[in-house]
Amino acid sequence: MSRVCDCCGKGPMTGNKVSKAYNHTRRIWKPNIIKVKTEIDGTTRTVKLCTSCLRSGFVTKKVPVKKTEK
């Protein structure tokens, strides 16, 4: 799965992990990407979003309606 947000385009970042002795080793920071079902143009689609886009309300999650029997 590619780790890129469909809304904002946030992806992995690279940099250095710096130890207490100031040794540098390369590392990767991955964004918190989740798959969310949402309604876009009247159709239900699954999109990959970072949690910051989901919290800010760019899309709304589509929650299935449970039918109760009587």
Which tokens hold the place of 28?
């990767």
CA nearest to 31, candidates 61, 57, 60, 1: 1
Q: How far apart are CA 41 and CA 44, in angstroms?
A: 8
Query: pLDDT at position 2, please?
Result: 84
70 versus 21: the higher-pLDDT residue is 21
pTM: 0.75
The fraction of the chain above a pLDDT of 90, given in percent, is 71
> What mean pLDDT do residues 31-60 have?
92
Query: pLDDT at position 1, please?
Result: 63
13 versus 59: the higher-pLDDT residue is 13
Q: How far apart are CA 4 and CA 30, in angstroms?
A: 9
